[in-house]
């Protein structure tokens, strides 16, 4: 993912894979054609030799292959190694290499999709985007060059050189700069982003993703969520869910619920859930249930806790607002009528037959 470090942003920019062709376009005509090809190829394979991660060198690898095929084509098509014609051959080869990469994108996307590391998928899609831009821009460049050479090249040879090399250089430099600016803007946007762990159904962390990105992808990823049921005098305290909630906004539910943040443990998540609603973190909670909830909008590994308040004073000290206590009978009369959240309705029977029943026995014995 984009980072705050300038050096890291430069080194992880997928458009950096166009640098070998940019350097090649500057050198050709200044040094021997084959030497220019050798320098371009050397820059293309440098990330591989230095064991750069595969997802960060996609365009470098494409450039390396296109240099190899273009160099082989020189001996058949441009045996004189004339600089401009050799350069055009190299550019055409690059465009065809990008087209092949584009045609293979579905297979590559499926392969990338099987991997659970979001960072690899991110850089793959960024490289794909840069490849699209470069392919279309250079195709346009070749069409302009062809039209000019058909109608005007004999009269305007200086302009012909500008079109062949300088316009190519401007195109590549523009793509590289725009991608760098995009990374910078994305880094700034993500500075205040909340990160969520991506987990499997056993709760093992597989990676991380920005919360806003995950919410836009609905139930693509599984995230841990802490929920805390509050019980006093045999009743459940419920309040309307906030309008901003992804799942069942404005339906009745427990007052305490939060996503577990990346690099947080479950204890920190419990404290965060309590702190969001009341000023204290010392609510007496205990874990009772873990299960996976999924619908068309979200996918969650829910950790359900319960807090049983023993005295009226302790309950009043919580200073809860906006909700009320519900009896078991009141809840049962409204189950299935879209009054309560889906998760609460799934959990209620378990609560009634365990915690609420146990609390009733204890209160009767006192």
Which region among 28-32, 162-166, 168-172 has the lowest average model confidence (pLDDT)? 162-166
Helix spans in the chain (H) = 6-11, 19-27, 33-49, 58-77, 83-103, 105-114, 118-151, 157-161, 167-191, 211-216, 266-277, 312-317, 328-334, 342-351, 357-365
- 92-137 pLDDT tens trace: 999 999 999 888 877 766 665 554 455 677 777 888 888 889 999 9
Q: Is the pLDDT of residue 358 over 80?
A: yes
Task: Please tell me whether residue 190 adopts helix, strand or coil conformation.
Answer: helix
Cα–Cα distance for residue pair 123/1, rounded to 1 Å: 7
What is the token pair recorded at 273?
């859930």
The pLDDT, as a whole number, for residue 9 is: 66
Q: 229 pLDDT band (50/70/90 cuts)? A: very high
Q: 214 pLDDT band (50/70/90 cuts)? A: confident
Q: 304 pLDDT band (50/70/90 cuts)? A: very high
- 51-64 pLDDT tens trace: 777 778 889 999 99
Say if CB 234 and CB 359 are below 8 A apart.
yes
- Cα within 13 Å of Cα(51), Cβ side: 0
Q: Is the pLDDT of residue 171 over 50?
A: yes
Q: Is the pLDDT of residue 4 over 60?
A: no
The pLDDT, as a whole number, for residue 122 is: 73
Looking at domain 198-365, what is its CATH homologous superfamily? Nucleoside Triphosphate Pyrophosphohydrolase (3.90.79.10)
The pLDDT, as a whole number, for residue 258 is: 95
The pLDDT, as a whole number, for residue 116 is: 44
Cα–Cα distance for residue pair 137/93, rounded to 1 Å: 14
User: What mean pLDDT is reported for the chain?
Assistant: 86
Q: Is the pLDDT of residue 154 over 60?
A: no
Task: Calculate ∠ Cα 53-54-56, nearest 5°.
Answer: 70
Helix spans in 207-253 (H) = 211-216
pLDDT (mean) for 45-73: 88
The pLDDT, as a whole number, for residue 334 is: 95
| Start-end of CATH 3.90.79.10 domains in the chain | 198-365
Q: Is the pLDDT of residue 323 over 80?
A: yes
């Amino acid at each position: 993912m984009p980072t705050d470090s300038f050096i890291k942003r430069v080194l992880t920019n997928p458009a950096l894979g166009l640098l070998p062709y940019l350097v090649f376009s500057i050198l050709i005509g200044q040094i021997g054609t084959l030497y220019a090809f050798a320098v371009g190829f050397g820059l293309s394979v440098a990330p591989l030799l230095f064991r750069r991660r595969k997802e960060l060198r996609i365009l470098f690898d494409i450039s390396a292959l296109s240099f190899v095929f273009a160099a082989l084509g020189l001996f058949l098509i441009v045996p004189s190694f004339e600089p401009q014609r050799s350069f055009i051959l190299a550019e055409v080869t690059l465009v065809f290499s990008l087209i092949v990469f584009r045609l293979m994108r579905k297979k590559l996307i499926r392969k990338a999709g099987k991997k659970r590391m979001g960072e690899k998928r991110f850089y793959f899609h960024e490289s794909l985007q840069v490849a699209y831009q470069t392919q279309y821009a250079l195709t346009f460049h070749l069409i302009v060059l062809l039209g000019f050479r058909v109608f005007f090249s004999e009269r305007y040879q200086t302009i012909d050189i500008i079109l062949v090399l300088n316009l190519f250089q401007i195109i590549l430099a523009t793509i590289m700069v725009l991608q760098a600016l995009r990374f910078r803007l994305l880094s700034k946007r993500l500075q205040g982003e909340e990160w969520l762990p991506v987990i499997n159904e056993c709760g093992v962390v597989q990676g991380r993703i920005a919360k806003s990105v995950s919410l836009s992808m609905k139930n693509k990823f599984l995230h841990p969520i802490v929920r805390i049921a509050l019980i006093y005098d045999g009743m459940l305290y419920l309040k309307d869910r906030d309008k901003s909630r992804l799942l069942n906004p404005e339906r009745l539910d427990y007052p305490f619920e939060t996503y577990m943040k990346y690099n947080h443990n479950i204890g920190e998540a419990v404290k965060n859930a309590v702190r969001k609603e009341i000023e204290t973190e010392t609510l007496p909670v205990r874990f009772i249930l873990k299960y996976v909830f999924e619908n068309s909008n979200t996918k969650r590994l829910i950790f359900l806790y319960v807090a049983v308040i023993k005295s009226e004073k302790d309950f009043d000290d919580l200073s809860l607002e906006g909700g009320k206590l519900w009896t078991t009978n009141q809840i049962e009369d409204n189950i299935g009528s879209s009054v309560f959240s889906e998760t609460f309705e799934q959990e209620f029977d378990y609560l009634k037959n365990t915690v609420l029943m146990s609390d009733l026995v204890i209160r009767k014995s006192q």
